[in-house]
Amino acid sequence: MEVQEILSHLERNEGHFARSAVREAVAHRDQIIPPLLEVLESAARDPQSFARDPNGMIHLYAMYLLAQFRETRAYPLLVQMFSAPGELPFDFSPPLTVPVRPPSFRVSLTLVRKAAKAGASPQNAKRRS
């Protein structure tokens, strides 16, 4: 799949997670990062246009993929998007629920507590464990 074709599969809500397009995006990581950043730049510049389209998904897939790629150029754009006035950030991002299994939560909570006691970050606490 070419980059434009991948992006077209990520554009709209088709009633399911676009697994094959996401896999292709990951396979074309270097080529797809610039257009995904452009999507976030557009959303940061004009969040209302994304909020008005309830079936638009490209900005959500862009956030997902750029986070997976740990693309730091996306961070200021996300801050700008979610700093939009009023309820606008809630309008262009659906409620996100993340299932947390109790054992994972307990492990994370333990790491945070260790880090707080040691005056360090959770990553450092994990290394010490």
**pLDDT tens, residue by residue, 80-104:** 888 888 877 777 665 544 444 444 4
Is the model's pLDDT at 25 over the cut of 90?
Answer: yes
Classify the C-alpha dihedral 30-31-35-38 as positive or negative.
positive
Q: Which two tokens stand for residue 57?
A: 């998904």
- pLDDT for residue 40: 94
Q: What is the pLDDT of residues 38-90, one digit of tens each?
A: 999 999 999 888 888 888 899 999 999 999 999 999 999 988 888 888 877 77
Tell me the backbone φ, ψ of residue 10, rounded to 5 degrees: -95, -10
Pairwise CA distance, residues 60 & 49, whole Å: 14
Whether the CB-CB separation of 6 and 30 falls below 8 Å is answered with: no
